[in-house]
Chain A
């Protein structure tokens, strides 16, 4: 332990100045010594900034709106520019409107802009997907593990039951249903219509989150319960209870900080999985609604447009973004695990 290494022999008569470090600071210290994790965090940071500032960059004229503002020709090569010719008819050619760094897709939309907006959508899918699962899973798992007994038995039987359900066919069927409902939104009741409107405003993400989230929390609930069971018999919990701490206080101030580490690690590792699932659904035509760009939708467009033989970059650009993100989250997850639980360090 870093603290122990620093301990010097006690010198009597002199005041000691130790800066004590909390558990959290300790793990951050370990995390920041892991070079791969730092690079991963930098990559993720850049991606998040890109995702957040996409609209600003459109305002500054660096990017195009994802549903084409500046129409280029279909499948333009990289590094070419859109010229509208002479629209106003004054004999002088109009200035260049917009340059497509990565060229355009079949509908003449700027690939770079769509990839940047895709970053926003895909990261959102990953982060919201895993947060929903983390939240539901923790609440369920902590209740089950903490209260134990018959409640625990009942709740875990239910989880065991759900665990047997194959996730993927269920997600597909639900997305088919949502898609059908969306097409006939006029025929359904008020609540359904509101949900369809929310979904349309989010470009199809709302229903996607429901479909992804419906079973994703199960693994998390089991993990959280296991953690609670491991910690709730520990002496410090006993001590807290003996001085009269209520359940809420024990859970929130004593148990949660101790159990949260492995849960966060497991969610960081799961983020690429959600992004992958979305791209998989997009490939089946069940992902986000066009023209909303996710990386999966872009990859699918590239494959389906039949132009990848001479415009391979249409596939490679979003694929690179997707793979880089996955790599980054994997390394960050590894780093976080080593940092939060030093007993496991090195046993990747």
Chain B
């Protein structure tokens, strides 16, 4: 099967899943007691007439299926509907997502890069010096990395580097995060680096650990293969054997970790963005839950789901691309 056919089939298979998750989030959040307009008046009880009026205005008085079909129809035009939250009432959800998503993506992408940049060398070292002190040290580091949750590492780093040592800023006072959307060059400035380094490090170390463990296991297995023995037997330098023959094949399974990594970026974005006050999409999701901002919540859920589904397909494609023995089927 060709690549194009494979992609089309996977995307068609993914559509019902997406539809289901949209419907579930759509219906469940509407079934949850408490509506978006209950608390509009600064915590005072809002008159029922006002709530009814707002519900009518935003079509929330319609039967569930009518609402859902209308929503799908607007989705087809890439319109996520208006926000129903208190502070952003009426603002298009797509704008809120468009504002937050690039910021979240920056943190995610840099963390993934950091994770690979640290994890692969660590895993290779551990495998090459198998069962020596280097191996134990690297393995311990990797296990430690998986054992300290972001929830703990983040605040600790803030206390150490931002509060006690005062090397890094505690908060984004000048709106640096948002300014990257209009001016991407900002990411090379110290203002940006000093803000981004802690969240990226926090998220990246967790990934580093997983990547290192996987690289080590995979390389150890490859080093036992016959073709490695052949390469050694014909007198190749050890360096050529390892970097030319072994590592290339050992990294194939490592590519599969991209799927779980995407999920980790996702989870991370919820936690990291709250701890470090990053104006990303994860923070929007969390606040949309509390304020019953139906459209924003479903919108962000869709974005996340599309990312995860796309990530899974990407992993499959990468697998076949990296390892010609595997075919599309």
Contacts and interface: CB of A to CB of B under 8 A. Distances in A.
A and B: real partners? yes
Contacts of B29: 173, 176-177
Given A168-B263, A168-B266, A272 B147 contact: yes
Contacts of B33: 180-181, 183-184, 187
B143 to A, nearest CB: 6
Nearest to A325: B147
B270 A284 contact: yes
Contacts of A57: none
A14 interface: no
A326 B21 contact: no
Interface stretch (A70-78, A255-263, A315-323): A315-323
A312 interface: yes
B275 interface: yes
A276 B268 CA distance: 12
Interface in B270-310: 270-271, 274-275, 285-286, 289-290, 297, 301, 304-305, 308-309
B217 A164 contact: no
Residue in B17, B147, B270, B304 with the greatest tally of chain A CB atoms within 10 Å: B147
B34 A183 contact: yes
B64 interface: no
B27 to A, nearest CB: 10
A319 B152 contact: yes
Interface string A275-305: 0100110011110000000001001101100
Contacts of B144: 323, 327
Contact of B149 (A183, A286, A322): A322
Contacts of A169: 21, 25, 285, 301, 304-305
A180 B29 CA distance: 9
Contacts, number: 133
B32 to A, nearest CB: 4
B28 interface: yes
Contact of B147 (A315, A327, A346, A347): A327
A179 B139 CA distance: 41
Nearest to B216: A348
Given A176-B32, A299-B151, A161 B263 contact: no
A280 B305 contact: no
B20 interface: yes
Contact of A165 (B21, B32, B146, B290): B21
B267 to A, nearest CB: 6
B102 interface: no
A167 B155 CA distance: 26
A143 to B, nearest CB: 23
A170 B152 contact: no
B24 A327 contact: no
Interface residues of A, number: 48
Nearest to A328: B147
B220 interface: yes
Contacts of A324: 147
Given A169-B301, A170-B21, A322 B32 contact: no
A177 B31 contact: yes
B217 A172 contact: no
B20 A165 contact: yes
Given A169-B25, A330-B143, A347-B220, A323 B151 contact: no
A51 B213 CA distance: 31
B295 to A, nearest CB: 14
Given A166-B304, A347-B217, A303 B155 contact: yes
A309 interface: yes
B301 A173 contact: yes
A7 to B, nearest CB: 27
Nearest to B20: A165
Nearest to B312: A164
Interface of A: 160-161, 164-170, 172-174, 176-177, 179-181, 183-184, 187, 272, 276, 279-280, 283-286, 296, 299-300, 302-303, 308-309, 312, 315, 319, 322-324, 326-327, 330-331, 346-348
Q: Enumerate the 9 nearest inter-chain pairs by beta-carbon distance, A residue then B residue, closest first.
A: A164-B17, A180-B32, A319-B152, A326-B147, A184-B33, A180-B33, A323-B147, A166-B308, A177-B32
Interface of B: 13-14, 16-18, 20-21, 24-25, 28-29, 31-34, 139, 143-144, 146-149, 151-152, 155-156, 159, 163, 213, 216-217, 220-221, 263, 266-267, 270-271, 274-275, 285-286, 289-290, 297, 301, 304-305, 308-309, 312
18 contacts: A161-B17, A165-B305, A168-B266, A169-B285, A170-B21, A170-B25, A172-B285, A173-B28, A176-B28, A179-B32, A183-B33, A296-B151, A303-B151, A315-B155, A322-B152, A323-B152, A330-B146, A348-B139
